[in-house]
Amino acid sequence: MSGLAQAQHTDGQPTLSERADALEEHMMHELEHIVTKSVLFGMADGKVEMESGPALMAKNPGKYMLMGEDPRLPKMPDKPTLIDYFRCRFASTSHLLQSATHALKGGHSEKVVLACLLHDIAVVSFIRCDHGYWGAQMIEPYVDEEVSWAIRAHQALRFFPDESAGYAYPDMYVKLFGPDYQPEPYIVEEYKRARNHKHYMTSRLICVNDIYSFDPNAKVNLDDFVDIIGRNFKQPKEGLGLDSSPSAHMWRTMLWPSRFL
């Protein structure tokens, strides 16, 4: 049923989206606190809107706004590590593990393996749009500059082949975006800058090891990377997100995505 047809549903029965809203409302009432959605969450449903604090309080008498962890989400430890985010906040890890396993078997450096392991963390936990930039920013304070630079640049490099490095434009992108898709000018400029950078090849190796045809039967295990993470990711003693790094707030947002403020 198209969105328009749903909106014009007039047989007296609730539409699909009305039923979803009612269910969500019901679930909110089951919770001890009022859980709010950031505006960005609604934009993904095509709505630019927000409910004010007083309106929510009026609908939920006797309850306060959620200002901590969301009981519906997997419980995180008091001092979370990167591994905890892998286990409790990343919606899917098989692509990351397959890419990193591929790089490990290819005999690449630990920095390359770590870059492959983390290259799409923004996609699986945070925001898809410009995921290379978000992902790089999230890890920047905790890794060598080579790793974060490579993750940022893979946003652009993956659209441009480099046959000498063994990277062709992915068939998958033709399927996903159509044969006429052209990257925006800022991506083209980023690519040109990256070409001559000293870490170009690290970023290119993310593309080369990016597995586009996922093998659901491939045996991959996060345990294979615990030591590499330990040696190359500076885990803050307060817990990742509870420290004072320039990107700690991004990790906190994943810890508590539905906090009111």
What are the residues binding Fe ion (CB under 5 A)?
Answer: 120, 210
Q: Which helix (H) or strand (E) holds 145?
A: helix 145-157
Q: Specify whether the CB–CB gap between 97 and 116 falls below 8 A.
A: no
Rounded CA-CA distance 40/68 in Å is: 19
Q: Which CB atom, from 121 or from 250, has the smaller least distance to Fe ion? A: 121
Q: How far apart are CA 53 and CA 244, in angstroms?
A: 28
Residue number with CB closer to Fe ion (146 or 210)? 210
d(CA 49, CA 56): 14
Distance CA 202, CA 147 (A): 8
Smaller CB separation from Fe ion, 213 or 221: 213
Give the residue with the Cβ less far from Fe ion, 115 or 229: 115
Nearest distance from residue 235's CB to Fe ion, in Å?
24
Q: Is the distance from CB of 251 to CB of 90 less than 8 angstroms?
A: no
Q: Could you tell me the smallest distance in angstroms from the CB atom of residue 123 to Fe ion?
A: 6
CB of 119 to Fe ion, least distance (A): 5
CB of 208 to Fe ion, least distance (A): 11
Distance of CA 114 to the CA centre of its chain: 16
Q: Which tokens in the block code for residue 16?
A: 């699909």
Q: Pick between residue 59 and residue 197 the one whose CB is nearest to Fe ion.
A: 197
The least CB distance from residue 248 to Fe ion, in Å, is 23
Alpha carbon distance 202, 115 (integer Å) = 8
